[in-house]
Amino acid sequence: MSDIGDWFRSIPPITRSWFAGSIIVPFIGKLGLINPRKLTLAPDLFFSRFHLWRPVTSTLYFPIYPNTGFLFLVNLYFLYHYSTRLETGAFDGKPADYIFMLTFNWICIVITGLLMDMQLLMIPLIMSVLYVWAQFNKDTIVPFWFGTRFKAHYLPWVILGFNFIIGGSFIDELIGNLVGHLYFFLMVKYPMDLGGRSFLSTPQILYRYFPNRRGGVSGFGAPPSRRAAPQEAAGGGGGGRHNWGQGFRLGGE
């Protein structure tokens, strides 16, 4: 048990909290301590009876049955795998920025879930984190099923296609990918790579409560000047769920 405890304490704090909640809430439903129907999004009840907890519980809850238990474990693995790598990689020492990313993605997914009458939001949020990781590590070669290997940039879409083939559904994965793309484009790609206006920024109140653990400027830095962008263009500048796919629902490193 001490080994498990040491491993759990080694998980970075934000990922650890999310990971723990994604274990506790499903088991609360599994053990019947709370009716699982009270843990889903249920847009009609959210709007008509103001069940304000549902956007949170529906992000952490996943039904555990004999035919879903394996998928639940896969979800947990990818939550741990990709969130840990983001928190200790691109967001290392920047907890406020990582919390803002999760919050932005979560709000977008909740709004989409309410509009589309969705019940469970765990997979879209995990996929949005996977997508952001893939963009920050787009040239990393990741293994997939049957010995295939490709750049991480393609991983979210390979997972989507794979899940469509084996399960016939891709909505959760598609929503997660689109939300992850929206965050990455607005926060990183458009202002930094294209020299555009910055539409997203981490609120200062988050830096107050979750200050950077290293020196330097908060956030990802300043976007390039608009004058520099054409020069870069003229110069030609440019810069998984497991080993069986680091795929989702079945897609790392």
CA distance readout (Å), 253 to 31, 46, 134, 162: 35, 39, 10, 18
Indicate whether 168 pLDDT > 70.
Answer: no
Lowest mean pLDDT of 117-121, 208-212, 238-242, name the range.
238-242
Strand-pairing partners, residue 143, are 149
Question: Tens of pLDDT along 104-114?
Answer: 999 999 999 99
Report the pLDDT value the prediction gives residue 146, as an integer from 0 to 100: 75
What value does the mean pLDDT of the chain take?
A: 84
Percent of the chain at pLDDT above 70? 83
pLDDT at 224: 46
**In the chain, domain spans:** 3-209
Tally of helices (H runs) and strands (E runs) in the chain: 11, 2
pLDDT value for 78: 87
What was the pLDDT predicted at 53?
96
Q: What is the pLDDT of residues 189-228, one digit of tens each?
A: 888 777 777 889 999 999 999 999 864 444 554 444 444 4
- 66 pLDDT higher than 90: no
CB 226 within 8 A of CB 58: no
CA separation, residue 212 to residues 9, 99, 208, 216 (Å): 20, 12, 9, 8
Does domain 3-209 fall under CATH 1.20.1540.10? My reply is: yes
As a whole number of angstroms, the distance between CA 16 and CA 110 comes to 22
